[in-house]
Amino acid sequence: MKQLRSVFSGASVASKNLQWYGSSRCFSNKSTKSSSIDISGVYPPIPTPFTSNGQIDYVKLQENFHTWNASDFAGYVVMGSNGEAVSLKEDEKLDLVRNVKKMSKPTSTIIAGLGLPTTEQTIEICNRVAEEKTANAALIVSPSFYKGQMNELVLRKFYEDVADNSKLPIIVYSVPANTNLDLSSSLVTALAQHPNIIGLKDSGGDIAKISEIVYNVPKDFQVLAGSAGFMLPALLMGCVGGICALANVLGDQVCLLYRLFKDNDLKKAVALQQSLISPNYMVTRRFGVPGLKAAMDLKQGLYGGVCRAPLLSLNDVDEKVLVQTFAKCGYPLVR
């Protein structure tokens, strides 16, 4: 985090009279993709609320959307890592994305996490969602159970086979913390040539690699930062937005960060980014989904609730650390 703060300080000093490379990578209508959509902006990867007996709680989800829809989100990611997608049955997934489509604003772009362990399963659920017209794009995580065999040839074939047969445009999802697979810039660059692979969500946070990817891919291939913790540096290097867990709790602040970047107000953007680093760490790497849900429970107008087993709710000691961290950065959570 100290290294990031150093980068931000340097950016603040250098921000005057500079035209950032990222500002020139705006979405163009002249697309070479077969089914491109504009995925720029901020997206919260929404948690899935559960009742005390483990069912999806659609009443609480609707209440959350009442709060979320007041923020300037470009759309929503449903059934991502923070949505506990791996804990959901197929019928639950289909029902969940239907409800998210209904609850979100008509202008919202819906990205559904539809990556499954096999190519066939992934294609099948992508096409079921496409037929129901409940999502605009599919976020596909790399299959990782047979990690030892997941070399670049296998992963490239997986993504290209899915893209060849999916009726939804595909966004590649690189999340090394969960899959222990770090997609190389050369692999992503190769995948970016496919007409139905429109973008990448990179949660690894390697800014040098993100920069290399942005530099090498076609102009209509859109890269999204996978965390609010490094969103500003990613935007500066050409990312078009972010899918950020912290946006579930601090949606207005994450959207403001994006807007300040677009307005080239780098001094304010740097200060805001620095204030978001520690809260973001609490709801991602430190405490994960239980931490995110705990933060939502402490935020007016939001519900986090329990996680689905085997995940456990945050204990009192960890919750205190989370609350203190948010407060120290200027974001009190107590209702």
The predicted-structure confidence for 214-223, as pLDDT tens digits, reads as follows 999 999 999 9
Asked if residue 295 belongs to a domain, the reply is no
Per the DSSP assignment, residues forming a β-bridge with 43 are 243
pLDDT tier, 23 (very low <50, low <70, confident <90, very high otherwise)? very low
Query: Cα separations (Å) of 278 from 174, 250, 324?
Result: 22, 13, 11
pLDDT at site 176: 86
Q: Which domain holds residue 181?
A: 34-277
- Residue 262, pLDDT > 70, answer yes
Asked if residue 69 belongs to a domain, the reply is yes
Lowest mean pLDDT, pick from 6-10, 128-132, 225-229:
6-10
pLDDT tier, 27 (very low <50, low <70, confident <90, very high otherwise)? very low
Q: If you average pLDDT over each of 14-18, 125-129, 174-178, which comes out highest?
A: 125-129
- DSSP string spanning 45-56? BPPPPB-TTS-B
pLDDT at site 287: 98
- Residue 212, pLDDT > 50, answer yes
Asked if residue 323 belongs to a domain, the reply is no
Summarize the confidence of residues 41-52 as an average pLDDT: 98
Return the higher-pLDDT residue of 21 and 276.
276
Asked if residue 213 belongs to a domain, the reply is yes
pLDDT tier, 16 (very low <50, low <70, confident <90, very high otherwise)? very low
**Closest to 119 measured CA to CA, from 79, 178, 161, 150:** 161
Summarize the confidence of residues 54-60 as an average pLDDT: 97
pLDDT tier, 283 (very low <50, low <70, confident <90, very high otherwise)? very high
What percent of the chain lies above the pLDDT cut of 90? 84
- Residue 49, pLDDT > 50, answer yes
pLDDT tier, 28 (very low <50, low <70, confident <90, very high otherwise)? very low
- Residue 12, pLDDT > 70, answer no
Lowest mean pLDDT, pick from 12-16, 168-172, 205-209, 256-260:
12-16
Summarize the confidence of residues 198-219 as an average pLDDT: 97
Asked if residue 81 belongs to a domain, the reply is yes
Asked if residue 299 belongs to a domain, the reply is no
pLDDT tier, 4 (very low <50, low <70, confident <90, very high otherwise)? low
Provide the domain count of the chain. Answer: 1
pTM: 0.91
- The residues annotated with a catalytic role in the active site are 173, 201
CATH number of the domain that 109 lies in? 3.20.20.70
pLDDT tier, 31 (very low <50, low <70, confident <90, very high otherwise)? low
Asked if residue 257 belongs to a domain, the reply is yes
In the block, tokens 């992503």 appear at: 188
Report the greatest alpha carbon distance in the chain. Answer: 57
pLDDT at site 26: 41
- Listed in sequence order, the residues at least 6 apart from 220 whose beta carbon sits closer than 8 Å to its beta carbon are 27, 28, 30, 31, 32, 33, 36, 198
Per-chain mean pLDDT for the chain? 92
Return the higher-pLDDT residue of 5 and 147.
147
243 is in an annotated binding site: yes
Asked if residue 324 belongs to a domain, the reply is no
pLDDT tier, 240 (very low <50, low <70, confident <90, very high otherwise)? very high
- Residue 143, pLDDT > 50, answer yes
Order of strands, sheet of 197-202, starting from the edge strand that comes earlier in the sequence:
41-43, 241-243, 222-225, 197-202, 170-174, 137-141, 109-113, 75-78
